[in-house]
Structures are given as structure tokens and as C-alpha cells.
Amino acid sequence: MNATAEAGLIESTLLERNRNMDTNRETQMDTDRDDHQSRTSTPDSITAAAAWHVDPQQTVMDCRLNKIFYGDFLAVRDSLVPIEKNKITGFIGPSGCGKSTVLRSLNRMNDLIPVFRFEGTVTYHGQDIYDKSIDPVLVRRYIGMVFQQPNPFSMSIYDNVAFGLRLNRFKGDMNERVEKALRSAALWNEVKDKLKNSGLSLSGGQQQRLCIARAVATEPDVLLMDEPCSALDPIATRQVEELMLELKENYTVALVTHNMQQATRVADTTAFFSVDISEGGRTGYLVEMGDTQQIFADPREKLTREYIAGEFS
Amino acid sequence: MTRVASEALLEQDLASMKPLQGSLLEGRSLKSRIYTGITWGLAILASLPLFSVLYMLIAKGGARINWETLTALPPAAFEFGGGIGPAIVGTAIMVGIGSAISIPIGILAAIYLAEVAPHSKLAETARFLAKVLTGFPSILAGVFVYAVLVVSMKTYSAWAGGIALAVLMLPTIILTAEETLKQVPQKMKDAAYGMGCTRAQVVAAVTLPTGLPGVITGVLLAVAGAAGESAPLLFTALFSTYYVNGLEGLGQPTASLSILIYNFSGMPYDNQIELAWAASLVLVLIILVFNILARVLGRQKF
């Protein structure tokens, strides 16, 4: 939903820019374009698009996103995104390129949208989470999510963190786990004396760290973070970024960010998505994925280079 | 006119000074004052009926408010004293029956409308019918229950009265609860889904608790409305001069405040007329209490 709203906002500028780019490419780089076309339309070209091979032993999730639809609208196509263990995988790209859609497909959050349709496989520790036998509710208990807008529940700070534990019928020492989660979200010192206060009484940055504490309390395997800092000020952003770097010791993190500096600061691996308007729609796809250093210092694709240079956003 | 440290005032300041001092009698400002005055006056006028009714009830019925009035059986024709006890209990019981039926149905229906399938054909239909039912003449609810229950059971009863009240309470509860449940931010529900909640868990742990103040407001307003109803009870519970007698008593004609007021106010005896005034005051106070409760409990916002 967010992606479409966002898409609408920047549509005009992006359309125009892409149109210019397309004409440029048409006149100057016929070969490149052909290359590009064939690569994205044949199945084995997916691997070529990613051109990013990782040790299968190290991947927690192996995501082959062939087609993601909202109704008739093709939102994302032909993207291969491996998520590596104990690393932060950053997703960057212009607005409307489907990076949030991709992220929300990784724990089946998009199933809540009735018109959502997924073609492909998301292999999580050897199981395809889109298999018919899989219960999406259970998937989300292992693959947690932190959202763009801080969204604590309208209950006490303690209850917010304990929510997932109670949901999973946790039998151990609740106080200890709540404290541990709040500590790992770097929030404990600020809230330890007011655990009974409403989670909504906190500041925006604190609320987001509370949401992170809530997400890590149940010790999920993978944490999906959808632009977690976009509603935060620079200081809170810095705190959350430091937090992410600590979290990757124990968790695997996939991070959507609109902020390229953020990707360079925290991501180990970066996936660059772009939007393709050549066939009339606005379809996002993975342009390039690789080591963050390489993506920003020496991108293989011209599109990546242009985006990183700030030629379009 | 204020003087701004006149000695420090330089000549160029004087030259560039703007006419900022207003006059109360200037047209623009005068008009604003007149309009403000009119709205004040009309606001007072609008609250006049409520206060005059309250004043009249206290003046005419206040004197009879005592323990005997609140508990004793209604007097017979030329008897002195007596009270409205059975009517208070009867109203409470029938509103209780109505609530017991309409609150669970209403809230569950609201959950369906707001959360489960808001755009389904069934939901659209149910929502439309609930809206129609809010404007439903209350006497028709009485006639309906009369035809369905009273005729088949061959007696007026508290059950029939309670069910007629439930019919009237239902749409208020459904629509207010739906409205508040819809206001629970989607991002909160997303958070719960994201942690691995089923839909039932999201509703039970997040949507309902978050929307509770609003749901309670709707329920209390429905209760207050039902307590004051008279027309539906006329056809269903009728009246009685005795207390409801155990469970079986619920199957017999039952007294209520509103019918007592209607009956007694038409009698040619001063004692009964005084009791009708007292009953009116009690009824208004009950409704007022529920309205105030609804405001206090509904204040909490997310």
C-alpha cells in the first residue's frame, strides 16, 4: 500500500527521467538495451542479473522472485536475492521500485493484501515458505518485521515487549526476557523506571526502538526492517543504526532503506532495485547485488552507477 | 493607544509605522463580536430544554425521592404512600436481558464488518440494514416482538420486553463499535500480524482492547437509550404492580419505569401523579449516569 502511495508521489518525475534515459539508451546503446531485455525475460538470466554468488551454507533465505502481482499490476519481476546469515542485506532503489514489496514478501506479510499474487520461491532453511503446506502465521514468528512507522501497541511498554512471548506461550522468566530485549534495543536505561507507562507515551525514536525490542523479544531468526529510520531524526537514526550493527551478531537482517548513506554505513551486502516502465507498467526488478563496498565504489551496471551518483532517485 | 518608549523612537520609525491599533467599534471587529454573541445565545438556547426539564422534574418529583418510593410497591387507587420499586427492578432486568443479547451479537457483528470481511456483500447488506434499523420506529420493534413472542407464548413477559429492547440496541452497538474498530490504526494490526498472530489473535489482543473505550461508549449509549424506551415495552412486557418473582417471573408481565410513568400520569389521583414525577426523575438520572459514564470511559484515546 505504501509502495503505491509512494509511487504515485514521485511518478511524474520518475516517469520523465526514465523516459529520457530510455531514449538515451535507445539512441546510444542499442546493444546494451538488447542485453538488458534478454536478460530479464529468460529464466536463467535471473542468475545473471544478480551475478552475486554466495556460499549456500551461509544463506538463510534464498529468494527467487519471478513475479509479484497486485491484481493485474506486475510490481516486481525476475529478482534473485540471497539473504546471508548474520549479515545486514540492504535493499536500495528509487521509490516505487518494489523494494518494500520484496521485503514484505519474505515473511508473507503481503498475504494480508487480498490482490497480492506471488510467483517464485522463497527458500528458508530449505523450505519454500510459499509452499501450500506452510502456515504464513508460523513463518512470521521466525521472520520478524520492523515497520516504517513506529507502531507500538496501545499498552504498557512491558506488555508491548512481552506481547510476542505471551503469544508463543513463553514459560520462562518473563521479566528477564523483557529486560534482555529492551537492553538489546538500547532502550532499557531510558524506560526501566516506567515500564508500566503506555508505549505510545515515548518519543518517536524510543517507540521505534521499542518496536525493535518487541520484535527481538521472541528471538526470531531473521529481522526484516522496512525503512525503520524514515520517521526518525538524525540522533534516533544513529541509535537505531548502531543497534542494527549489534543485532547482526545474533540475527540476520534485511533492511530496506531510502537512504544510500545508511546502506553504506550498515549494510554488508546491497541489492539495488530499479523500476522498469518499458512495458507500460511500473515493474521493479533487481539490477545488481553485491558487496556494499563494490556496489558503491565500482558498480557493474550503468543504472546502478547513475543512481548512486544521484542522477535519479 | 500604547506608546513605545517614545524617546527611543526614531523619525524613520515614525515614517514607516503601520496602522496596527484596532478599534472595537470598527465594522469588521463589531461584526465579529455580534456573531460571537449570537452563537453564545443560541448555544444557551439549545441547552435550555434539558435544563428546564431537569428543573421541572426535580421541582415536582424531587420531594418524593426517598427510600420508600424507591423500594415500595405501587399504591392502589386511594392508597397513600407506595413507590416504584418493581418498575426500577423491571427496567433494570429488561435492559439487562436486552444488553446480554445485543452486546455480544453487536460486537461480534462489528468485528465482522470492520475486520473480517469489510467489503463483502454480507457486510454491505448488514451495514445498510443496521443503518435502517437505527431510524426504526421503536413501537414497531414492540409490535414485531408481540407478533413473534407474545402471541406464541400467550403472555406478556420480561423476556419479550428484553428482546424488543435488544432489537433497538443492536444497530447502535454495531455501528459505533464498527466505527471505533475501524479507527484502530492499520500499522498496529500489521505489527501484530508481523509477529505471527492469527486474525483472531489480532482482534482479541490488539483491535478490541485498543478500540475498547469507543466500544464501551456505544454500548452505554445504547443502554441509556433502551432504559428510556416505552413504546416497545407497551406491547411486550405490559405492566405489573409486583416485583419480578424469580426466574419464572421473567415469563410474566413486568413493570418498567417508562410504562409506570405513562400509566400513573393519566390517573386522577395526586399520589400516583407525584409518583409518576418521581419515576421520571429517577429515569432521567439513570440515563444521565449512563451518558456521563460513556463520556468518561470513552475519553481514553489511542
How does pLDDT run across B103-123, given as a tens digit for each residue?
Answer: 999 999 999 999 998 899 999
Sheet holding A252-256, edge to edge: A127-128, A116-124, A59-70, A73-84, A283-291, A269-276, A88-92, A252-256, A222-226, A143-146
**B302 interface with A at CB cutoff 8 Å:** yes
A171-185, A266-280, B104-118: segment of lowest average pLDDT? A266-280
Q: Does domain B65-297 have CATH number 1.10.3720.10?
A: yes
Amino acid at A211: C
- Cell triple for A20: 529520457
For residue B196, the chain A residues in CB contact (below 8 A) are 137-141, 164, 167-168
Using CA coordinates, name the residue in chain A closest to B190.
Answer: A109
Instruction: Name the residue facing B197 among A154, A167, A215 (closest C-beta).
Output: A167
Using CA coordinates, name the residue in chain A closest to B117.
Answer: A114
Q: Which residues lie closer than 8 Å to B254 by C-beta, 6 or more apart?
A: B90, B93, B94, B156, B157, B158, B161, B237, B238, B239, B240, B244
For residue A108, the chain B residues in CB contact (below 8 A) are none
Q: What is the pLDDT along chain B (302 residues), one digit of tens a residue?
A: 445 555 566 777 777 878 787 777 788 888 999 999 999 999 999 999 989 999 999 999 888 899 988 998 888 878 888 889 999 999 999 999 999 999 999 999 999 999 998 899 999 999 999 999 998 899 999 999 999 999 998 999 999 999 999 999 999 999 999 999 999 999 999 999 998 899 999 999 999 999 998 899 899 999 999 999 999 999 999 888 888 888 888 889 999 999 999 999 999 988 999 999 999 999 999 999 998 988 888 775 54
CA B5 – CA A191 distance, rounded (Å)? 51
Q: Report yes or no for ipTM above 0.90.
A: no
- Cell triple for B88: 426500577
At residue B13, the 3 state secondary structure works out as: helix
Strands (DSSP E) contained in A147-204 are: none
Q: Helices A204-217 and A234-247 sit at what angle, rounded to 10 degrees? A: 10
Q: Give the model's pLDDT for residue A51.
A: 55
Query: Which of A297, A257, A275 is closest to A100 using CA atoms?
Result: A257
Q: Give the model's pLDDT for residue A281.
A: 75
Contact B302 A163 (CB under 8 A): no
- pLDDT band, very low/low/confident/very high, at A47 (cuts 50, 70, 90): very low
At residue B251, the 3 state secondary structure works out as: coil
**% of residues, chain B, pLDDT over 70:** 96
Buried b (16+ CB within 10 A) or exposed e, B119-138: eeeebeebbeebeebeeeeb
Cross-strand partners of B289: none
CA A64 – CA A311 distance, rounded (Å)? 29
Q: For the domain A2-128+135-308, what is the CATH code?
A: 3.40.50.300
Q: Give the model's pLDDT for residue B283.
A: 94
**B49 interface with A at CB cutoff 8 Å:** no
- Distance from the Cα of A145 to chain B's closest Cα (Å) equals 6
Contact B195 A164 (CB under 8 A): yes
Tell me if B162 sits within 8 A of B142, measured CB to CB.
no
Q: Helices A174-184 and A234-247 sit at what angle, rounded to 10 degrees? A: 120
The secondary structure of A255-312 as a DSSP string is EE-S-HHHHHHH-SEEEEEEEE-TTSS-EEEEEEEEEHHHHHHS-SSHHHHHHHTTS-
- Whether residue A34 is predicted with pLDDT greater than 80 in this model: the reply is no
Contact A138 B193 (CB under 8 A): no
Longest dimension (CA), chain A: 67
**B206 interface with A at CB cutoff 8 Å:** yes
Q: Is the dihedral of CA B183, B185, B190, B193 positive or negative?
A: negative
Q: Give the model's pLDDT for residue B227.
A: 92
- Whether residue A43 is predicted with pLDDT greater than 60 in this model: the reply is no
Q: Give the model's pLDDT for residue A53.
A: 67
Tens of pLDDT, residues A74-92: 888 888 888 988 999 999 9
**B120 interface with A at CB cutoff 8 Å:** no
Query: Which of A90, A116, A93, A92 is closest to A105 using CA atoms?
Result: A116
For residue A149, the chain B residues in CB contact (below 8 A) are 187
**B190 interface with A at CB cutoff 8 Å:** yes
CA B271 – CA B255 distance, rounded (Å)? 18
Contact B191 A167 (CB under 8 A): no
Q: Give the model's pLDDT for residue A26.
A: 39
For residue B191, the chain A residues in CB contact (below 8 A) are 147, 151-153, 211, 214
Query: Which of B217, B228, B260 is closest to B95 using CA atoms?
Result: B228
Tell me if B226 sits within 8 A of B133, measured CB to CB.
no
The whole-angstrom distance between residue B57's C-alpha and the CA centroid of its chain comes to: 19
Q: Which residues lie closer than 8 Å to A258 by C-beta, 6 or more apart?
A: A92, A95, A227, A230
Q: Give the model's pLDDT for residue B174.
A: 95
Contact B196 A138 (CB under 8 A): yes
CA A163 – CA A177 distance, rounded (Å)? 11
Cell 523494494, located at residue? A99
- Whether residue A254 is predicted with pLDDT greater than 50 in this model: the reply is yes
- pLDDT band, very low/low/confident/very high, at A44 (cuts 50, 70, 90): very low
* Angle made by CA atoms A203, A232, A251, in degrees to the nearest 5: 95
Contact A140 B194 (CB under 8 A): yes
- Whether residue A255 is predicted with pLDDT greater than 80 in this model: the reply is yes
Q: How far is CA A86 from CA A59, A128, A302, in A?
A: 9, 21, 30
CA A71 – CA A256 distance, rounded (Å)? 24
Q: Give the model's pLDDT for residue B4.
A: 53
Q: Give the model's pLDDT for residue A2.
A: 45
Tell me if A204 sits within 8 A of A231, measured CB to CB.
yes
- Whether residue A27 is predicted with pLDDT greater than 60 in this model: the reply is no
